[in-house]
Homo-oligomer: A and B are copies of this chain.
Amino acid sequence: MPDLYQELIKLADSDMYPFHMPGHKRNLESTPMKGAFRCDITEIDDYDNLHDAKGIILEAQQRANRIYGSEETFFLVNGSTCGVLSAISAAVPEGGKILAARGSHRSFYNAAYLRNIQIKYLPYKINTKYGIPETYTADDIKQTYDDSIDAVFITSPTYEGKCSDIEEIAKICHLHGIPLIVDAAHGAHFGMGSKSALPENAVSQGADLVIHSVHKTLPSMTQTALLHVQGKLVDRKKLRRFLSIYQTSSPSYVLMASIDLCMKYIEEQGDEFVSRLIEYRKLLENASAKCRYIEIPGKKDIPDAAKVLIYVKNAAMTGHELYDILREEYKLQLEMAGEKYALAIISGCDTREGINRLITAIAQIDARIADGKAMNSEEEHVKVTSLPGQVLSIQSAWDADKESVELQSAIGRISGEFINLYPPGIPLIVPGESFSEELVCDIARYIEEGLTVQGIVDRKEVICVKQK
């Protein structure tokens, strides 16, 4: 079966002249981006329509479908963002209720806002050693579930590569007759390659709706993603409706071709891709084993092989310092930095040369860390943090008249904005929740420490719902 890219190149090579959009007319003289323009078309005869796929786009979606083994798969050109928005909008009625973790992606909160959905939170768990969000088990769901809940939303793997027990969580959800939505944006590579090398995929673990970013861990262009559906708990007509609401009516064939090429690559070279990924991770773990302060946790702590958490023990160096040294001195651009670690994303498309550069850099940086700076090791445990009380729905608070209030005067007031601490980017407060004294003190401290706190005005004011 030809892939979408081949179909587009066939057209570019043919005598067919374009009296249609796009305005560049595949005229390569108008751009240095020649390859992209050459296969950039609109919905013309024989080239199908993403929003009502019946031809070559449907066939391409079916290729993805075969690889993941889901019942139905949709290509997304507006990222996992539109997958999360569509999944929640279709699975939860307007004004309904969803059970989810506080550390869900911003698009989760946006869906709750748009559809006036009430969020019930799972316990907010942080792994104190690494300072990263923890994951969930079936017991967590059992203990927080109540009959008013319409769906469960779980992020697995997390940004940092930790995995929840999707299989058991799916069973609990289905026992209650509600769908499980898994934001697996970072887990499109799961389940690929030889058995047991990578964690299982949320699709085969029985989730009803699974969102995969194809670009994050597989070779596809940024902004491309997949949505998989199975079972009968989610109305597929409604799902299609929302996919066509949250995605452009002019989807890019370049992005769609990139997804299909990626699926073909996985079909043909997936085993080698995964083998290289696993090998690279192993090489990095081995290198860190020789270090005094730098530690790269293994599969047990970070099951996702693509996430290389370069942790610095005993506060001998901050994650940000490590990140900056890698970037400035070694020209290694990492994904992000936390207080205690820098995070590298690796894939089967990395080169051995690149991995070796990182190994050399880690060894050299570890060697130069002065012993004097190290503090006592912090014990690893899971801390459950309390969340602010919810007074108004996200929708009524975010849409309300608002005013800026001095942080210290905000105690007892209702927030009209999200305030996020980066990393990990989890909201400290969500519109509709009230500021406690404890939270106000925490925010003041974060600002003083120079951390990135989004949603604060001039470093000292917060946005509150106007009092009548």
Residue among B19, B335, B346 making CB contact with A335, cutoff 8 Å: B19
Interfacial chain B residues near A217, Cβ < 8 Å: 21, 23
A392: Cβ under 8 A from any B Cβ: no
Contact flag A222-B245 (CB < 8 Å), given A27-B351, A333-B16: no
Contact with B along A25-59 (1 / 0, CB 8 A): 10101111111110111101100000000000000
Cβ–Cβ contact A332 & B17, under 8 A: yes
Please, which residue of chain B has its CB at the minimum distance from the CB of A38?
Answer: B35
- Closest beta carbon of chain B to A103's beta carbon, Å: 15
Contact flag A215-B23 (CB < 8 Å), given A105-B249, A249-B79, A258-B36: yes
- Closest beta carbon of chain B to A188's beta carbon, Å: 8
Please, which residue of chain B has its CB at the minimum distance from the CB of A84?
Answer: B249
A261: Cβ under 8 A from any B Cβ: yes
Interfacial chain B residues near A395, Cβ < 8 Å: 94
How many Å lie between the Cα of A33 and that of B344 in the bound state? 25
Chain A interface residue count: which class?
35 or more
Interfacial chain B residues near A308, Cβ < 8 Å: 19
Question: Restricting to A89-134, which residues have a CB under 8 Å from any CB of B?
Answer: 93-94, 105-107, 110, 113-114
Question: Restricting to A198-229, which residues have a CB under 8 Å from any CB of B?
Answer: 213, 215-223
A389: Cβ under 8 A from any B Cβ: no
Cβ–Cβ contact B19 & A345, under 8 A: yes
- Closest beta carbon of chain B to A61's beta carbon, Å: 18
Cβ–Cβ contact A255 & B223, under 8 A: yes
How many Å lie between the Cα of A356 and that of B253 in the bound state? 28
- How many copies of this chain? 2
Cβ–Cβ contact B20 & A345, under 8 A: yes
Cβ–Cβ contact A42 & B219, under 8 A: no
A350: Cβ under 8 A from any B Cβ: yes
Cβ–Cβ contact B221 & A22, under 8 A: yes
A148: Cβ under 8 A from any B Cβ: no
Question: Restricting to A241-270, which residues have a CB under 8 Å from any CB of B?
Answer: 241, 244-255, 257-258, 261, 265
Cβ–Cβ contact A222 & B27, under 8 A: no
A459: Cβ under 8 A from any B Cβ: no
- Closest beta carbon of chain B to A334's beta carbon, Å: 5
Cβ–Cβ contact A93 & B399, under 8 A: yes
Contact with B along A327-347 (1 / 0, CB 8 A): 100011111100000001111
Contact with B along A398-419 (1 / 0, CB 8 A): 1100000000000000000000
Cβ–Cβ contact B25 & A257, under 8 A: no
9 contacts between A and B (CB under 8 A): A22-B216, A24-B347, A24-B349, A31-B219, A31-B261, A40-B215, A80-B249, A110-B244, A222-B254
